[in-house]
Amino acid sequence: MAKRKSTLGELTQATGASSRGLAAIVGVLIGLGLLDRDKAERYALTPESEAFLVSGQPDFLGGIFHHMGAQVAPNWLRLAEIVGNGKPAGSVGLAAERPNYVWSYDFVEDRTHDGRKFGMLCLIDEFTHEALAIRVKRKLNATDVLETLADVMILRGPPAYVRSDNGPEFVALALRAWIAAVGAKTAYIEPGSLWENGYCESFNSKLRDELLNGEVFFSLAEAQVLIEPWRRHYNTV
């Protein structure tokens, strides 16, 4: 596929996978922005997938299995099963029992001085209340969530659960498949429900009260430079 566009039938024949399972995986990759589909139902790698998923490229992420442990690879081999049968494994009432047990992520929005919006993806450990990461971009998507989770998992290992709201159905499916593949489970908040534990809401309020409301960001780069030191300071007080 790295060389040319392929139909689902051609991919099925080349890989020996079932058409139903391959269709599920292809759908997830499209939702993550890692695969393109044209009007003729032909599929091709996006620039992001060529950079991160093709062996031999400088930014190839295949080595992430080495960092996360041997248990991860077998789960990836079951990706079609996970996509086809997986359901949110956690519940709203799930309580963090120890560090690295439940991570939660949520989104905060602000604007630079020129009025343009930017988003912050905030990831916290519900037990320690530590801010594990804050990703700052003009527009955040499912790929940013996966990259942020992967970065932290390389350092800390996968948590038992990752909690978020459901989000768009297709994005939720893609995230659920990836999270399950690395050995964690998902705990979703039903649409329209409030956070039962309130940890993310509390962190978001502190971020806004202690930093965002008192700063004028003249560029996205300035926001990124100032927000990261604030995160580190937050974790030490």
In order, the DSSP letters of 148-204 are: HHHHHHHHH---SEEEEE--SHHHHHHHHHHHHHTT-EEEEEPTTPPPSS-HHHHHH
For residues 117 and 110, the answer to whether their CB atoms sit within 8 Å is yes
Residue 13, pLDDT score: 79
Q: pLDDT tens, 135-166?
A: 999 998 888 888 899 999 999 999 998 888 75
- Going by C-alpha positions, the residue among 151, 182, 152, 146 that lies closest to residue 164 is 146
Most confident of 53-57, 89-93, 187-191: 53-57
Residue 188 in 3-state DSSP?
Answer: strand
Question: Using CA atoms, how far apart are residues 236 and 232, in angstroms rounded to an integer?
Answer: 7
Q: What is the mean pLDDT of the chain?
A: 76
**In the numeric block, which tokens belong to residue 109?**
């929005």
Rounded-to-integer distance, Cα 47 and Cα 140, Å? 17
Q: What six digits make up the tokens of 11? A: 């991919």
Q: What is the pLDDT of residues 18-37, one digit of tens each?
A: 666 566 566 666 656 667 77
Contacts of 31 (CB under 8 A, 6+ apart): 142, 170, 171, 173, 174
pLDDT > 90? residue 200: no
- DSSP lists the bridge partners of residue 164 as 188
Q: Which of 92-101, 144-153, 225-234 has the highest mean pLDDT?
A: 225-234
Looking at the DSSP assignment, which residues form a beta bridge with residue 79? Answer: none
Locate 157 and state its tokens: 């290992």
Strands lying side by side in the sheet with 102-111: 131-137, 117-125, 102-111, 161-165, 185-189
**CA separation for the pair 133, 125 (Å, rounded):** 10
pLDDT 10s digits, 33-87: 667 778 777 888 777 667 666 667 666 555 544 444 444 444 444 444 444 443 3
Residue 171: what pLDDT?
60
This prediction's pTM: 0.61
Q: Which of 128-132, 139-143, 176-180 is most confident? A: 128-132
